[in-house]
Chains A and B, each alone.
Chain A
C-alpha cells in the first residue's frame, strides 16, 4: 500500500459517456499528478497540481478535465473519449514539486473506451 488510492480499478465506457476517475492520497503531500500509461510507450505526464493549483498541462485534449478540490483528492473527468484513449491512468503524489522529490504512484485505473 503506497498511500495513494485510485478508483475504480477498471472502467469500460462508451465514447458518448461521461465518467470520472478518483485519486486520494493519505501521505500529506502537496503535489499530485495524472499520468497516462499506454503499451510500449513511455509514461506520459498529463497534469500537475501543486497546492490545489494546476501548474502543468501537457497539451492534453479538452475531453480530459482534471479537478483538485483539496490537496488530498484529484479527479480526472472524462467525456466523449476515443478508443485510443484506452490506457492505464496513474495518479501520483509527492511532498512538493521539484527535483528529487519521490513520486508515489497509485495502482492505476485501467480504462477501456469502446
Chain B
C-alpha cells in the first residue's frame, strides 16, 4: 500500500519568513495530493491540492509543488502570519474503482514567531 513520509515534524519560523514542508510517497500510481491544515481544537481543513498532471499550483501565499519522478511534493507558505500556526498534513491517494483512500503523513506542527 501507499506510504507517506512528512518532514519536519515541527517547524518554527519568524513572522514574514517562508515555511516549507516536504512529503514523499511510495506508490507511483498515486495521482492526487491534498494538504490539510488543522488548527487547535478543530478538524483538518483542505487548504490546497494538486493532481499528478501538473507540477505546481498556487493560491495566494500558499503553493504546492510536485515532482512525480522523485515522488515528492512540498507545501510552501510565504509571508507567514501568526494565523498560519497549525498542524499541516500532506496526503496521497490512488483512485481505485471509486473508493477514496487518503494516506496521510504524520503532520508538521508549524509555529509562527511574532
Q: Is B20 an interface residue (CB 8 A)?
A: no
Given A98-B95, A98-B99, A107-B42, 12 more A-B residue pairs with CB atoms under 8 Å apart are: A42-B106, A43-B91, A45-B101, A56-B101, A90-B44, A97-B100, A99-B95, A105-B44, A105-B45, A107-B41, A107-B43, A108-B43
A2 to B100, CA, bound (A): 20
Q: Is B93 an interface residue (CB 8 A)?
A: yes
A55–B99 touching, CB < 8 Å: yes
Chain A interface residue count, Cβ-Cβ cutoff 8 angstroms: 26
User: Which residue of B is nearest A94, CB measured?
Assistant: B100
Report whether over half of chain A's contact residues are helix, strand or loop; otherwise say mixed. Answer: loop
B100–A106 touching, CB < 8 Å: no
Whole-angstrom distance between the Cβ of B95 and the nearest chain A Cβ: 4
Chain B residues near A2 (CB, 8 Å)? 43, 45
B105–A42 touching, CB < 8 Å: yes
Q: Is A92 an interface residue (CB 8 A)?
A: yes
Q: Is B103 an interface residue (CB 8 A)?
A: yes
Chain B residues near A55 (CB, 8 Å)? 99
Chain A residues near B31 (CB, 8 Å)? 99
B102–A40 touching, CB < 8 Å: no
B44–A45 touching, CB < 8 Å: no
A100 to B91, CA, bound (A): 12
